[in-house]
Chain A
Amino acid sequence: MLSFDADWSLMTPEIVLAAAALLIFTIDFMTGINGKKPFIGRLSIVALLATAALVLFWNGGNSGSIGDMFVVDPFSTAFKILILTGTAIVIGISMYYLDRHPDVYQGEFYSLLLFASLGAMLMVSSADLITLFIGLEILSISAYCMAGFKKYSKKSTEAAVKYVVLGGTASAFILYGMSFMYGLTGTTSLVEIGAQIGSLFDAYPFLVMMSLLFMLVGFGFKISVVPFHMWAPDVYEGAPTPVTSFLTVISKIAAFAIILRVFFTGFGGIYEEWGFIIAIVAAVTMIAGNLIALTQHNVKRLMAYSGIAQAGYLLVPIAAFVTLDMTVSVILFYAVAYMVMTLGAFAVITIVTESSGSEDILSFSGLYRRSPFLAIAMSAFLISLAGLPVSAGFTGKAWIFFQAISADMLWLAVIMIVTSIVSFFYYFGIIRQMFMKEPKEKEGQLRIPAGMSGIVTVTLIFTLGLGILPFLLINFFTTMQWMAF
């Protein structure tokens, strides 16, 4: 049970981030609700990077827990670094975006982003259903608000309403599934659930499976896998573009982290019972996501379906289980790759759609003439998303293939390859617009502010770097023992 003499210092990064978020909220409150506030954005980035430094150096090598509820281990540390750097990049994109939208009240935007990443941090550190749910809700509620941030835009409002209703339903599913587990075991600790799961399943197979399936529905919603993906295109389209990038990348990665923790720590003992369900969900998600993406003309919707397809790829290593450390390594590597290529792509999308005022794919036409750098960078991100060499996406996907084959799941690997080739159509469709079409006459050279070109450059370096020198990360990952619990 939780005792108050536990090592609370493990939570220092979270406490610092929470304090920073509140401080920024207060500063914002004191400076009035109107006007541009780039300094708050900068402050938020500093807060995130400071937290990341704490995660790395304060908790770094340690493993420990606060009463088995809040865990610090290499798994949580790695995901937290991802979440924090990802959020920092999102804030960088937001600063550009909000700069061009003086009509949007910038007030709480940055502190909401910080709270969202705080929630994500709590999620990845949870070894208990309660803390996990709290983290999930902190993230979700902040995200609902952010989705509706363009309050004079009908689409944005619609997105927020849709998101809050469906997201709430998903949370309810998760909670319902958790309550089954609590009723059966009398505990919310994943470790204890994991210890009992074998005998529990023998005694109450139906209830255990119900619990698992309800949670899977809820989590499946959060990572937007088919058939729980319906909300994603609408919400992604309606939400402000930086928020879309946050939802596609950070909240999805965090949700994957808790899926790993819940399913392997809690339900690991009965893997045979649910592994194939994940495999089927992965297959359906890859097929539907990639096929529907073919028909999209709105870039943000296209990225939503692309994100759905990518979530399908990320499920494959869970379905094709070899060892836990391997699965976590593969997912983490792909998560890193997914983060840099997707955020990079979103940075470019933000610049292009903001300058043309349209989110149609046609706004990319002739981008090469208007900004060769952006066009080349975007091509690299898209090639990486499509999984072609030499890119992070290729290496990540190759590693997933390897695992699927070594787990004898050839059929899943085949689906992944075929759907990846389908994805060439829509990813290269954007490339075609950029390189093979002429820009509309009135559009001149694109001006890119330093911050944005910095973001694009850094993500580009990582996207290509992890394709050429993947061993820097892989050799490190394969030696790790990720989970303390």
Chain B
Amino acid sequence: MIPNILSWLVFLPLAGALILLVIPRENKNVIRSLAAGTALITLILSLIVWSGFDRGASSAQMGVSYPWIDFGLLQINYELGIDGLSLPLLLLTTVVTTLGIFASFTIQDRIKEYFVWTLVLMTGMLGVFTALDLFLFFLFFELTLIPMFFIIGIWGGKKREYASFKFLIYTGLGSGVMFLAFIAMAFKGSEAIGAAEATFNMAALADIYANPANPEAVSAAFKTGLFAALLLAFAVKLPIFPLHTWLPDAYAEAPVAATMILAGVLSKLGAYGLLRIGYGILPDQAVSFATFIAVLAVINILYGACLALVQTDLKKLIAYASISHMGIILLGAASFTEAGLQGAIFQMVSHGVITALLFFMVGAIYERTKTRELSELGGLSKSIPVLTGFMLAAALASLGLPGLSGFVSELLAFIGIFGASPDVIPQAVPIAVIGALGIILTAAYLLWAVQRTAFGQLNERFTGLKDARPVEYIPMVGLLGVSLLIGIYPNVLSDVINSTVIDFVSRIGG
């Protein structure tokens, strides 16, 4: 294995972005292929990481660690590593971003900047999923904010500036709360063990907070407050009702490829942070919040689904569907069972590829019909059969058709919540049953949406539209392929995440 491979992986896109900066803007094809090439090499590197990953171990692997900044009060290290939770998301990032870059080939305006920002964004996301130091985590987390602000604000739809500012402020506030929680966590932790310097190392903090000998300095109330703060911080990014209002705007206004990345990967940062830091460092507090989280999850599932039902704009419909599906991640995570956590991670990956595919299809259809209004669409299967075929497949994957990844994910998540220990969630079964209603609603709005888009009377305007171009097959086949692969052979994923999931569950109760 290549030494320092994680650093290469994380910073390769950034290097690509820097190279792009010096290329004259007129060389559009050079810029496009360089961006795609960088992303492809990153994807290959992530596959190498995947193949070299030790499936039996639960702790972080392939780590690198260098001392970075010594603030006098606080030691910060440059520390990367991956485990069964980060690896699937790492691969999700490289896959979705690379395919997103191929999907961006249609962008004509300010191409160079666009790809520079996308590559910077990629580094930020990869960094979040590999960072083992809270400071580094925060740094990468914030690094994703700036490119997205520009991408939405420059290449977005009509209300792009409004959406980009809303995105910036909402997620910025979330980050602020998160940063405060991190600092409080580090300083109280060092106080508890009497260390002169605080640390931001996640593993070290997990040890400190798990040690029952440290209750004096870190009281139960403090830990509860800390977990609540983390939950609040990550809820914005996830997003959890009622902190979700930035999402429909951002998703609807962002350009197609950016929405793919935003919905596919960026929204997973919140879920990942909650699991990695909230569950990883404060497992007992997480358990005490389990019912609350499960209720939030059910609200998300139903609320998102209900709103999706009444949307008239196809892109907004999928945006709200996304809120609903993020709820399933949360529901699985709340259950604190192996199946549930597996389901959560499965759903992160599955939702990542499926939503990306859905948004891509919406983009492709919009590009041809120039409308996203469901009432204006219809009968498209007659004029663009391939595109509508993929659209249907994506919708079926999203509503959980067996054989596709959505099915495995939802199944695992619901098995988890039904089987949750009464100590963790006393009312698990009613919660699960109400949550399961979401599946019916999902089927309703997705099938209805596809029906109104693909079938029925063909609008005269839409005869003779061009069907899928070769370059469009890359993201379509790629994303659907991943979904199929996971759906048919879930082992490919569970194999990697099992040890980590077992480790997570075993940490409850000290």
Contacts and interface: CB of A to CB of B under 8 A. Distances in A.
Contact of A436 (B139, B161, B183): B161
Contact of A383 (B72, B73, B146, B165): B146
Interface string A361-384: 000000000000000000000010
B283 interface: no
Contacts of A399: 71
Main secondary structure of the interface of A (DSSP, over half): helix
B160 A326 contact: no
B179 A436 contact: no
B145 to A, nearest CB: 7
A432 B153 contact: yes
Nearest to A423: B172
B187 interface: yes
Contacts of B146: 383, 388
A379 to B, nearest CB: 9
Given A383-B146, A436-B153, A424 B168 contact: yes
A475 B153 CA distance: 39
B173 A421 contact: yes
A401 interface: yes
A389 B143 contact: yes
B169 interface: yes
A432 B173 contact: no
A428 B165 contact: yes
B74 interface: yes
A223 B154 CA distance: 38
Contacts of B129: none
A405 B161 contact: no
Interface stretch (A141-149, A184-192, A406-414): A406-414
A435 interface: yes
B165 A425 contact: yes
A402 B71 contact: yes
Contacts of A413: 180, 183
Contacts of A388: 142, 145-146
7 contacts: A322-B73, A326-B73, A390-B139, A405-B180, A405-B187, A436-B161, A474-B69
A478 B70 contact: yes
Contacts of B169: 421, 424-425
B217 to A, nearest CB: 12
Main secondary structure of the interface of B (DSSP, over half): helix
A64 interface: no
A435 B149 CA distance: 11
Contact of A414 (B149, B154, B180): B180
B150 interface: yes
B345 to A, nearest CB: 28
Contacts of A251: none
B153 A389 contact: no
B437 interface: no
A403 B73 contact: yes
Nearest to B178: A417
Contacts of A471: 68-70
Interface string B51-75: 0000000000000000011111110
B246 to A, nearest CB: 13
Interface residues of B, number: 34
Contact of B70 (A398, A425, A474): A474
A46 interface: no
Contact of B180 (A403, A417, A478): A417
A395 B142 CA distance: 13
A418 interface: yes
B434 interface: no
Interface in B138-166: 138-139, 142-143, 145-146, 149-150, 153-154, 160-161, 164-165
The 9 closest A-B pairs by CB, nearest first: A478-B72, A417-B176, A471-B69, A389-B139, A405-B183, A421-B172, A389-B142, A436-B153, A406-B73
A470 interface: yes
A332 B135 CA distance: 22
Interface in B206-247: none
B184 interface: yes
Interface of A: 322, 326, 329, 383, 388-390, 394-395, 398-399, 401-403, 405-406, 410, 413-414, 417-418, 420-421, 424-425, 428, 432, 435-436, 470-471, 474-475, 477-478
Given A424-B168, A428-B165, A401 B184 contact: no
B176 A402 contact: no
Contacts of A389: 138-139, 142-143
A420 B173 CA distance: 9
A73 to B, nearest CB: 19
Given A383-B146, A471-B70, 13 more contacts: A388-B145, A390-B139, A402-B73, A405-B180, A406-B73, A410-B184, A417-B179, A418-B176, A421-B172, A421-B173, A425-B165, A471-B69, A478-B71
B74 A436 contact: no
Contacts of B173: 418, 421
A436 B154 contact: yes
Interface string B256-291: 000000000000000000000000000000000000
Given A389-B142, A432-B161, A402 B74 contact: yes
B187 A406 contact: yes
Contacts of B184: 405, 410
A123 B235 CA distance: 49
A402 B135 CA distance: 11
A140 B44 CA distance: 62
Interface in B96-155: 135, 138-139, 142-143, 145-146, 149-150, 153-154
A324 to B, nearest CB: 12
Interface in B310-327: none
A424 B172 contact: yes
B480 to A, nearest CB: 34
Interface string B298-313: 0000000000000000
Nearest to B150: A435
A137 B253 CA distance: 55
A391 to B, nearest CB: 10
B149 A428 contact: yes
A470 B74 CA distance: 14
A480 to B, nearest CB: 10
A285 B71 CA distance: 26
Q: Considering residues B146, B165, B198, which has the most beta carbons from chain A within 10 angstroms of its beta carbon?
A: B146
Contact of A428 (B70, B135, B168, B198): B168
A435 B72 contact: no
A362 to B, nearest CB: 14
Contacts of B168: 424, 428
A421 B145 CA distance: 13
Nearest to A429: B165
A275 B143 CA distance: 35
Nearest to B112: A372
Contacts of B150: 435
A9 B179 CA distance: 48
B153 to A, nearest CB: 5
